[in-house]
Amino acid sequence: MEAIVLIWIVCAILAGAIGAMKNRTPLGVILGTLLGFIGVLIICFVPKADKEQAKPTDAFILNPLDSPDTRKCPFCAETVRIEAKICKHCRSDLPEYKAEPNESETLKELQEERLAREKAEHKKEKQLLEKYSMGHQLNSDEINFLREKGITI
């Protein structure tokens, strides 16, 4: 009786090793465990799997944070739904959810801010030059501003 159990264990290990060489580890162990020596023979005749076939597919990898309708609780870092007001894990009151802007939106906002700042500086430069051309005195801050822009008076 003990010999049969020992042979069964050896078959499971052997089938697992052969399955590992063929990138089919779970299949080899299962066949070796369930079918014993017959499982070893079956796994010997199963074709070798490609590396791509051996990798788990996206269907098997479930990451709830990748879901667009979930977020992390700021108190316990567990995944909760966006609409949640109270965390189901730690019972903390959750702050209102604000979607983070993506990179292109942030870049666009920065470009708009820079353009607005350049327009304002150009307008100020134009006003100061007009003021100077009409004979008005410029204070030191105004003169320094124009010098930074490369304009000498």
Residue-wise pLDDT tens digits, 61-109: 455 555 678 888 989 989 898 888 999 999 989 888 776 666 667 778 8
pLDDT at 31 over 70: no
pLDDT at 150 over 80: yes
Element holding 74 (H helix, E strand): none
Joined together, the tokens standing for residue 93 give 């009151």
What is the spatial distance between Cα 139 and Cα 141, in angstroms, rounded to a whole number? 6
Rounded mean pLDDT, 108-126? 91
Of 59-63, 126-130, 132-136, 138-142, give the lowest mean pLDDT range.
59-63
Share the mean pLDDT of the chain: 78
Return the pLDDT at 60.
46
**CB within 8 A of 25, min separation 6: which ones?**
16, 19
pLDDT at 24 over 70: no
- Taking residue 71's Cβ as centre, other Cβ atoms within 10 Å add up to 20
**CB within 8 A of 105, min separation 6: which ones?**
none
Return the pLDDT at 101.
61
Joined together, the tokens standing for residue 31 give 């066949």
pLDDT at 120 over 90: yes
**CB within 8 A of 61, min separation 6: which ones?**
none
Report the candidate in 64, 62, 59 with the shortest Cα–Cα distance to residue 79. 64
